[in-house]
Amino acid sequence: MSKKDYTLVEDGYVYCTKIKHWRSGEYIYPKTSKYFRFKIGK
C-alpha cells in the first residue's frame, strides 16, 4: 500500500490531495479533480 495524506474523512470515504507512490516514492496528484476519493471499510 502507499502512504496517503488524509485530508478529509466523510461517510466512509477518504479524500486525499496527494498520494505517495509505493514503489517510486514520488507524489501523485489528481489530474481532473481536487481530491482522490477512496472507499474505506465495507
Domain boundaries, the chain: 4-39
Q: What is the pTM of this model?
A: 0.55
Distance CA 41, CA 27 (A): 24
Residue that has been written with the C-alpha cell 516514492 in this structure: 25
By residue count, the chain amounts to 42
Residue 18 sits at φ, ψ, to 5 deg, of -155, 160
Helix (H, G, I), strand (E, B) or coil at 14: strand
Q: What pLDDT digit, counting tens, does each position of 1-42 carry?
A: 455 555 778 888 888 888 888 899 999 988 998 888 889 876
Cβ contacts of 39 within 8 Å, gap of 6 or more: 12, 13
